[in-house]
Amino acid sequence: MGRAQAWPDRPIRLIVPWPPGGSTDTIARIFQAKLAEALGRPVVIDNKGGASGSIGATEAARTPADGYTWMLAYDNEATNQTVMRLPYRAMEAFAPVSLVATGPLALVAHQSTPYRNFQDVVAAAKAAPDSISYASSGVGGLAHVSTTLLQQQGGFSLVHVPYRGGGPAVQDAVAGNVPLFMSNVVIISQHIRAGTLRPLGVTTAGETRHVPGVASFAQQGFTGFEAPTWWAFLGRAGTPEPILQRMQEALAKALGDAEVRKRIEEQGADVVASNSEQCGRFLASEIDKWGKVIRDNRISAES
């Protein structure tokens, strides 16, 4: 108990299992300073990218449960549980702290393409299967799996081009090196506003204020389709309960800051700041929901 009461007495490490420039890194850096202020110790972001977030997550799962290493997980953490052979199980290795934010994924086309709406893509893909490429932040991530479900429901076929994170993917999408890109809105909102990337549909149940005027896929004939992106703050399983509680309170304070909330929402995400129980239930449900899609479509880390 003494250790828990003294916590934290040194800097906190926050593993971001993605390269700099992606959405997870962006959101972590928005609340980093306020979280450090609430804890009274520096919070150091450690980017450990690679293998769709699993390299950083595996490292986080191996750290001591002493409250000095945490992870900001992206939606891939749920899909990785089925897509990959991992040396850990998320619901056993981690202690949920808070669902930080959720937001829409959007399918965007480069301005040079002829696609004015999603129906254009479907028609072109049906006329010439496997002739149109789309980028995502990695194999088996929510962007990949949800686009697979769209193809399954719509009876068309695209070519998946996976990248090692959202940062590298958005660079190629903006350059026009790949015609389509399924991504969270955080890293593409500025390019949508600039007109470089044209939004064709969003994965929320209905329209979203983050991509105004763009119909959801559910509204475009894909009944019941919904695939929100998300970010969750996780600790190590076995971390003393008082430390988990203190971190949850500090994070809620940081996310409740008006400027932090404004900056996250400007990126195209909605702050949630849930409690640990809500976060755990959400993570478990995402693992189950997308695990079925992955198994049904035989998606693996090599696909």
DSSP readout, 68-126?
A: SEEEEEETHHHHHHHHS--SS-HHHHEEEEEEEEEE-EEEEEETTSS-SSHHHHHHHHH
Residue ranges of alpha helices (H) inside the chain are 2-6, 23-39, 54-62, 76-83, 90-93, 118-127, 142-154, 166-175, 189-194, 241-256, 258-266, 276-296
Q: For residues 147 and 153, give the distance between their C-alpha atoms in angstroms, rounded to a whole number.
A: 10
Tokens 């932040």 map to which residue? Answer: 137
262: helix, strand or coil: helix
Q: For residues 4 and 116, give the distance between their C-alpha atoms in angstroms, rounded to a whole number.
A: 56
Do domains 2-102+229-296 and 105-220 share one topology? The answer is yes
One of 3.50.50.60, 3.40.190.150, 3.40.50.2300, 3.90.1010.10 is the CATH number of 2-102+229-296, namely 3.40.190.150
CA separation, residue 32 to residues 18, 36, 42, 50, 297 (Å): 16, 6, 9, 22, 38
> Where does the pLDDT of residue 144 fall: very low under 50, low under 70, confident under 90, or very high at 90 and above?
very high
Q: What is the pTM of this model?
A: 0.86
Residue type, 30: I
Tokens of 60: 């986080």
What percent of the chain is predicted at pLDDT more than 70?
Answer: 98
- Report CA 34 to chain centroid distance, whole Å: 21
Tokens 């072109």 map to which residue? Answer: 124
> Where does the pLDDT of residue 140 fall: very low under 50, low under 70, confident under 90, or very high at 90 and above?
confident
One of 1.20.140.10, 3.30.70.360, 3.40.190.10, 3.40.50.300 is the CATH number of 105-220, namely 3.40.190.10
Q: For residues 222 and 215, give the distance between their C-alpha atoms in angstroms, rounded to a whole number.
A: 11
Q: What is the pLDDT of residues 66-97, one digit of tens each?
A: 999 999 999 989 999 999 999 999 999 999 99
Give the model's pLDDT for residue 303.
Answer: 52
pLDDT of 2 > 60? The answer is no
Q: What is the mean pLDDT of residues 104-126?
A: 97
The domain ranges of the chain are 2-102+229-296, 105-220
